Structure 1
Amino acid sequence: MAGFGEPGVTTVDAAGLTVGIVAARWHGDLTDHMVDRAVAATEACGARAVVARVAGSVELPVVAQAMARRYDVVVALGVVVRGATAHFDYVCQSVTEGLTRVALDEGKPVAHGVLTVETIEQARDRAGLPGSAEDKGWAATVAALDAALAVRGLDATNAHRVGFA
């Protein structure tokens, strides 16, 4: 966690958009809260949320792709904590590459709200719990909605700047 450089966008006007939120059930105490925060951010931006759950983070990309085909924005949430084996690296790489592929293949913003951490304490500090330093459920949702609005605002005939609030 860098702890600096965040753009500070708290909400956007995303009325009429639908957000697909897919979350892993691993570390459910954290992912449940992240889903709640993602739904709250969606509603604060005037959009509608649809939530699906999957077993683990590796399953996120396939459901994210199905959601990207149906909804305007996708937010993928999960927690992957490094263990004693290389499994962490394979899971993180698979999830990151999968979510990136979905976004590019479907042409829709897909937020990578999967916490990839060394310790469960680091995950708690990013999950938006009371006293957490970060709120990745909220931040990932607003970032994806902001990107969807920027994509919608692209118009080759206009020379105005998009996404510079």
Structure 2
Amino acid sequence: MSGDVARVAELLGQRNRIDEKIAEIIQRPMAGGHLGEWITARVFNIELEPSASRAAIDGRFRTGALQGKSVNIKWYLKREGLLDMTTAGSLDYYLVLTGPAGVAGSSRASSRPWRIDRVYLFDAEQLCADQRARGVQAGTAASVPRRWWDAAEIYPRASNPLLYVSERQAAMLELFQPG
């Protein structure tokens, strides 16, 4: 038993050293939200808000058809059909990175690897209106119907024409897939 504790402590020490190196690069504490925002800003040319504590809006698109539009960025390590939503009227889009599809059942002995399998772009106003019509409250872990996820996908499948993923952007996203 104490051998397991020592091994976990050793592994956390290694992870802490890696997290420190990542924090040096992204200039924010190593956390899923900060790292997802940093990656997304570089892949999709988004100017992040100067303060990471601004409610609802993480940044704005710098170029393209969405130039100047506000965005809330999420990175979920599993794709489970849930989205942390806000009712902030000033938000234009949610840009969501996800890992592999989650499987219903126990999470015992499983992991949530840091990877990007899919990217979605949701129109915040339209999604909020649909959620209200279905009687779903905005907030943490709001259930979003699969049809919305399918229509919002921009990578690897281009279902949403609002944001085109170039070959260069796709190559950057592929860096975050296993092997």
TM-score (normalizing by structure 2):
0.29
Structure label with greater radius of gyration: 2
Q: Tell which has more relative contact order, 1 or 2 (C-alpha 8 A, sep 6+).
A: 1
Per the normalisation by structure 1, the TM-score is 0.30
